[in-house]
Amino acid sequence: MPELPEVETVVKALNSVLPGRTLRAAEEVGRLRRSFDAKEIVRRLRGKTVQQVRRRGKYIIVDFGVEAALLAHLGMTGSFRLEAAATPRRKHDRAVLSLDGGEELRYADIRRFGFVALAFLSRPERWPEELADLGLEPLERRFSGGALAARAAGLKTPVKVFIMDQRVTVGVGNIYASEALHAAGIDPRRSAGGVGPEEWNRVAAEIKRILRNAIRRGGSSIRNYRTVNGSEGGFQRELRVYGKKGVACPACGEAVETVRLGGRSTFFCPRCQT
């Protein structure tokens, strides 16, 4: 399931192939969470050339150097492929963008939790308005233990739910939240408001370290995640608690336990997370 490292990997791959390519046509093949309005996309972007591909949290923005841009979210099972137009389409392809040179950028999404849609930039290089409420980028300098502590003050919300809240920190999803709290030695069930300053420093540092490490590995391929060329990431081999219920904690040997927080399965070691 795509979180920040997976989205970052996809953005890097798109950036190596899309800039300089011109949009010729768009076609909706299946419904998504948001409408892929092919007619309107063509009206605003046909003949326009991709300038760059960016990321904000788990959202992908394709810039054409004009007010209109494409905004995409991979949801749980979204993926992009760049293929020759003659290559047969696949069962779960939902949206197709035809480019110059006889190639198509195809968006596939088994469960339709993601989307590709038109978005508008108040001015070039700014973010679409619908991303205004997003929180700090965890790999930027401003993201720190102090910033997390300030936002968490007085909150009863479980710390794991808190660090997954996209209004606080972007890009941390269910896998990396469990992994970061394990590395930081914090019990995911504790209330965010009760976590101490030094503990927040550890949480922030571990989020940064784990996300960077996962980006180096090309993300984690759990279930359906694939990068643009169809290959899998490698970070899933380094997961220490996620998906490991009953397995010995790599740090202390205690069996990993699971609990539901915020409606999501959460994995933790009852001995080394306190």
Contact call for residues 194 and 133 (beta carbons, < 8 A): no
Phi, psi dihedral angles at 232 (to 5 degrees): -95, 155
Residue 183 touches DNA, criterion: CB under 7 A = no
Distances (CA, A) of 36 to 94, 95, 114, 122, 249: 9, 7, 11, 21, 44
**Catalytic residue check, 3:** yes
Q: Which is nearer to DNA, 18 or 168 (CB)?
A: 168
Nearest Cα neighbor of 29 from 86, 103, 125, 107 is: 107
The partner residues of 261 in beta bridges, in order of sequence, read 264
Q: b/e per residue, 135-165, with b = 16+ CB within 10 A?
A: bbbbbeeebbbebbbebbeebebbbbbbbbb
- Catalytic residue (choose from 3, 8, 179, 199): 3
Catalytic annotation on 2?
yes
Site for DNA contains 211 (CB under 7 A): no
The verdict on whether 245 is a catalytic residue reads: no
Closer Cβ to DNA, 98 or 174, answer by number: 174
Note whether 79 binds DNA by CB under 7 A.
no
Which one of 2, 5, 158, 188 is the catalytic residue?
2
- Is 166:198 a contact under the CB 8 Å cutoff? no
Contacts of residue 39, defined as CB under 8 A and 6 or more positions apart, other chains included, come to none
Give, rounded to a whole angstrom, the gap between the first and last alpha carbons of the chain. 27
Q: Extract the tokens encoding 227.
A: 């990068």
Spot the catalytic one: 44, 55, 58, 202. Answer: 58
In the list 76, 85, 139, 251, the residue contacting DNA (rule: CB under 7 A) is 76
Check if 232 is active-site.
no
At its nearest, how many Å lie between DNA and the CB of residue 79? 13
Tokens of 1: 């399931």
Among 38, 110, 205, 259, binds DNA (CB under 7 A): 110
Q: Which one of the listed residues 21, 112, 212, 264 is annotated catalytic?
A: 264
Mark residues 127-156: x for contact with DNA by CB under 7 A, - for none.
Answer: ---x------------------------xx
* Pairwise CA distance, residues 103 & 85, whole Å: 5
Q: Does 33 bind DNA (CB under 7 A)?
A: yes
Q: State the minimum distance, in angstroms, from the CB of residue 211 to DNA.
A: 14
Q: Of residues 215-274, which lie at the interface with DNA (CB under 7 A)?
A: 262-265
| Shorter beta-carbon distance to DNA: residue 158 or 218 | 158
> Which range in 54-62, 121-129, 198-206, 208-216 contacts DNA by CB under 7 A?
54-62
Q: Which two three-digit tokens encode residue 109?
A: 């999404």
Q: Which residues pair with 103 in a beta bridge?
A: 84, 99
Is 1 near DNA (CB under 7 A)? Answer: yes
Q: Which is nearer to DNA, 250 or 262 (by Cβ)?
A: 262
Footprint of DNA (CB under 7 A) = 1, 3, 33, 57-59, 73, 75-76, 91-92, 110-113, 130, 155-157, 161, 164, 166, 173-175, 262-265
Could you list the active site residues? 2-3, 58, 264
